[in-house]
Amino acid sequence: MERTPEIFEKIEGYLAHTLPKEEAIAFEKELIANPELQEEVEKHRVLHKTLSDKDTLDFKEKLMQISATIKEEQSHPPAPVSSPSYWKIAASIAILLGVGMLFWYTYTNQHNTQDLYGVYYEPFPVEDAMRGNTNNEMHSIIKNYAKGAYDSVAVVLEKHPNLDSQLQLYLGNSYLNIDQEEKAASLFKDIKSSGKYYEIAKWYLSLTYLKLNTPEKSIPLLKEIITYNGAYKDKATRLLTALEKK
């Protein structure tokens, strides 16, 4: 059954007993004849019943926070994605690269391109300019992205008709984290060659191809990044060397 705003409104009106009498009778008749509609109404009924219990929802949220805190204490998390300083990000990447390279040299024969993806991939960090965004929706998107709720970010951003390059990068990274690599690739390819995000988009596109296990597509991109001679040159050089050794 196709879900439309009109059907939702009708089901909600029926469940809340706010439909005019004639409409309610007609809807009940339709309901008897249509098992698919019955199922849909049942889904809405349980949804409303369960999620109107705010106390239990708050309790569940508290348990999730407690669990996250305990896990954080038990592990040594990597530097947060949201670190605002370029140097902090660069340092985290350098550490990751160091660990990654050590791992690489030790187990070189067992590695495949996807392992390299794991070593080199870091989500595109939230930029300071975005953090201060006063637009409610954008603020919420950035907050969700920073805390790793990538599916929520994707569902909101993919409905925006005109994404700028920066938001395309956030959406592309979200796709990468929810295993929708093809969509990520097409977004990164779309980023304009004239803007400051071009080099970054190339980097993430090369990583997307690694994740897709097509390193032959990553290599020309890495060479292009090296020739571009920007902020990603060093990383691209190391990754290219690692790929060529394979």
Partner 1 sequence: MNTTEDRKILEGIVAGNEVIITTFYRKNLPYIRQYILQNSGNEEDAEDVFQDALILVYQKLKTDSLDLHSSLRTYFYGICKNMWRNRLRKNKKMIITEKLPEDAEIITPTVIQDIEHKEREHVYRKHFLKLSDACREVLSLIFQGNSMKDIARITGYSEGYTRKKKFECKRYLIEMIEKDHAYLELQLNPEKGS
Residues 18-77 within binding reach of partner 1 (CB under 8 A): 43, 46-48, 50-52, 54-64, 66-67, 69-70
Q: How far is the CB of 61 from partner 1 (least distance, A)?
A: 6
Nearer to partner 1, 16 or 32 (CB): 16
Instruction: Decide: is 91 part of the binding site for partner 1 (CB under 8 A).
Output: no
Contact yes or no for 241/227 (Cβ under 8 A):
no
Q: How far is the CB of 141 from partner 1 (least distance, A)?
A: 7
Nearer to partner 1, 62 or 196 (CB): 62
CA–CA separation, 210 vs 206, rounded Å?
6
Question: By CB under 8 A, which span of 27-35, 88-96, 153-161, 236-244 interacts with partner 1?
Answer: 153-161
Q: How far is the CB of 34 from partner 1 (least distance, A)?
A: 17
Contact yes or no for 246/215 (Cβ under 8 A):
yes
Instruction: Decide: is 95 part of the binding site for partner 1 (CB under 8 A).
Output: no
Which tokens hold the place of 58? 């708050």
Instruction: Decide: is 152 part of the binding site for partner 1 (CB under 8 A).
Output: yes
Q: How far is the CB of 41 from partner 1 (least distance, A)?
A: 12
Instruction: Decide: is 16 part of the binding site for partner 1 (CB under 8 A).
Output: yes
Q: How far is the CB of 14 from partner 1 (least distance, A)?
A: 15
Q: Would you say how long the chain is, in residues?
A: 246
b vs e for 34-63, b when ≥16 Cβ sit within 10 Å of the residue's Cβ? eeebeebbeebeeeeeeeeeeeeeeeeeee
Return the C-alpha torsion angle 46, 51, 53, 58, nearest 10.
150
Helix (H) or strand (E) holding 207: helix 198-211
Q: How far is the CB of 60 from partner 1 (least distance, A)?
A: 5
Nearer to partner 1, 156 or 231 (CB): 156
Give the CA count within 13 Å in the CB-facing half-sphere of 119. Answer: 24
Q: How far is the CB of 80 from partner 1 (least distance, A)?
A: 19
Nearer to partner 1, 151 or 224 (CB): 151
Nearer to partner 1, 73 or 216 (CB): 73
Contact yes or no for 123/96 (Cβ under 8 A):
no
CA–CA separation, 91 vs 95, rounded Å?
6
* Phi then psi dihedrals of residue 145, to 5 deg: -65, -45
Using CB under 8 A as the binding criterion, the count of chain residues that bind partner 1 stands at: 40
Residue in this structure with the two tokens 């304009």, named with its chain if needed: 192
Catalog residues that contact partner 1 under the rule CB under 8 A: 3, 5, 8, 12, 16, 43, 46-48, 50-52, 54-64, 66-67, 69-70, 136-137, 140-141, 143-144, 149, 151-153, 155-156, 159
